[in-house]
Structure 1
Amino acid sequence: MRILIIEDEIKIATYLVKGLKESGYQAECVHLGLQGLEMLKRDQYDLLILDVMLPDIDGWSVLQVLRQFSKIPVIFLTAKDQVMDRVKGLELGADDYLAKPFSYIELLARIKSLLRRQQYLQENELSISDLKMDMVGHKVWRSGNLIELSKTEFNLLRYLLLNKEQIVTRRQIGSEVWNINFDTDTNFIDVAVRRLRSKIDEGYELKLIHTIRGLGYKISVSS
């Protein structure tokens, strides 16, 4: 499991990285909020430990930007321990809040708890790039924005995501999504995919749903 720490106090940052590595995690630390956001956009992390008071932008702002593109678990670790600070952090989207000075044993227990919960959620989630699907809650997001889909559109997208980066034929889509063997000359599937594509890709530079001429469709980060 990979953990990113955004903490400007060198002593605490060093202590956390050392402790987490000894506990079996891959731990990295940066001291600036903007630098941390760039790393979170570029790389895949399983959890973020975030301070509020940082030299460039505060932790509140980091979290607000982060929640636009990621649902990674976040623990605030900060000296700001007033009740309203805790409430603000949780309302902005933090998963936990621990005040300094803190017990490493308690922090570790909270990390393990959040990672267990995240693992459960991931087992019920499909994703590609910034597109996420919650199969239990029947919800879909792109770049953190909720997308309204009909039941059929949801099932079609789920089938594409279950076969992401692979070409699926019109006949396969008809059989798996509608449980009907459509004639190959019907445009029913094309209309359904076109409608779904307008909801998933319209307004985004990166297109995810691609037509593979003469073969079918695929959902992929590249055409």
Structure 2
Amino acid sequence: MIPAPRALIIDDEIQLRRLLRLALQGKGYEVFEAETGSLGLSEAAFRKPDIILLDLGLPDIDGLEVLKRLREWTDTPILILSVRDQETIKVTALENGADDYVTKPFSTVELAARMSAIQRRRKTESEPLITLGHLTIDFAQHEAHLRGQPLKLTPIEYQLLALLARNAGKIVTQKQILTAVWGPNAADQAQYLRVYITHLRKKIPEPESQVKIANEPGIGYRLIES
């Protein structure tokens, strides 16, 4: 018998924890809770959850610090839940290892969709072949196909598409993309990124590809099925 996936909620708001518990249990999760950052860190180590839902406004330790401490020893998917909606906070969280960011208030439907996207991405990270919509990326051959036909991509275009595909459903920040594709000296050269995103969108157009390179203004991009 396959054990139920485990979810850990680190949030000081009891009403929200109750709502999330019901929603997650309805999706088949075994749910654990922590109302402080220190307890959340202990529970994460003891329970070994499959996903962590982390609030940034905790009473004892700032949520970003909890995120950094978690990332020192675990690669468990972490979904940030917060009332803070500033771009700088979102970018900081993503660049410190968060898998996604949901601003409160949110619907349980949206939360479930974000969690599913994270879980799908984690399953495909080590796979040599990823299919999204009608787009297929073959990492072993460094090739991409649309509806079975090879895509003519430059090396930079392929690297950019491969990075987004490996993180499908997740926001990848502009800095993360620029550093990974062009190197650390290009971290502030956002114009490179805009040009190549435009090229890729032309080569994998909607609705033909059934995928979309979604722009998260001021933050980055995510590749999603449309």
- Structure 1 position 3 matched with structure 2 position 12: no
SS of equivalent residue, structure 2 residue 102:
strand
Q: CA deviation at 1:121?
A: 3.7
Q: CA deviation at 1:119?
A: 2.5
CA offsets 1:38-59 (integer angstroms, 9 cap, x no match): 1112232111000000011011
Equivalent residue, structure 2, for 1:40:
44
Q: Counterparts of 1:28 and 1:122 in 2: how far apart (Å)?
A: 28
CA offsets 1:129-182 (integer angstroms, 9 cap, x no match): xxxxxxx99xxxxxxxxxxxxxxxxxxxxxxxxxxxxxxxxxxxxxxxxxxxxx
Structure 1 vs Structure 2: percent identity of aligned residues? Answer: 40
TM-score normalised by length of structure 2: 0.53
SS of equivalent residue, structure 2 residue 121:
helix
CA offsets 1:21-71 (integer angstroms, 9 cap, x no match): 012111111101111111112232111000000011011010110011001
SS of equivalent residue, structure 2 residue 33:
strand
Q: Counterparts of 1:15 and 1:36 in 2: how far apart (Å)?
A: 18
SS of equivalent residue, structure 1 residue 15:
helix
Q: 5+ residue gaps in structure 2?
A: 129-138, 141-226
Equivalent residue, structure 1, for 2:60:
56
Q: Counterparts of 2:122 and 2:30 in 1: how far apart (Å)?
A: 17
Q: Counterparts of 1:27 and 1:46 in 2: how far apart (Å)?
A: 10
- Structure 1 position 20 matched with structure 2 position 11: no
Q: Counterparts of 1:31 and 1:55 in 2: how far apart (Å)?
A: 8
Matched positions, count = 126
User: Computing the radius of gyration over CA atoms, which structure comes out larger, 1 or 2?
Assistant: 1
- Structure 1 position 113 matched with structure 2 position 117: yes
Q: Counterparts of 1:64 and 1:82 in 2: how far apart (Å)?
A: 19
**Of 18, 29, 33, the match for 1:29:** 33
Over the aligned positions, Cα root-mean-square deviation in angstroms equals: 1.8
Q: Counterparts of 2:118 and 2:106 in 1: how far apart (Å)?
A: 17
SS of equivalent residue, structure 2 residue 52:
strand
Q: Counterparts of 1:120 and 1:34 in 2: how far apart (Å)?
A: 32
Q: 5+ residue gaps in structure 1?
A: 125-135, 138-223
Greater RCO, CA 8 A, separation 6+:
2
**Of 83, 91, 101, the match for 1:87:** 91
TM-score normalised by length of structure 1: 0.53
Q: Counterparts of 2:60 and 2:68 in 1: how far apart (Å)?
A: 15
SS of equivalent residue, structure 2 residue 101:
strand
Q: Counterparts of 1:77 and 1:20 in 2: how far apart (Å)?
A: 15
Q: Is 2:34–2:43's contact at 8 Å kept on the other side of the alignment? A: no
| Structure 1 stretches of 4+ moved >2 Å | 119-124
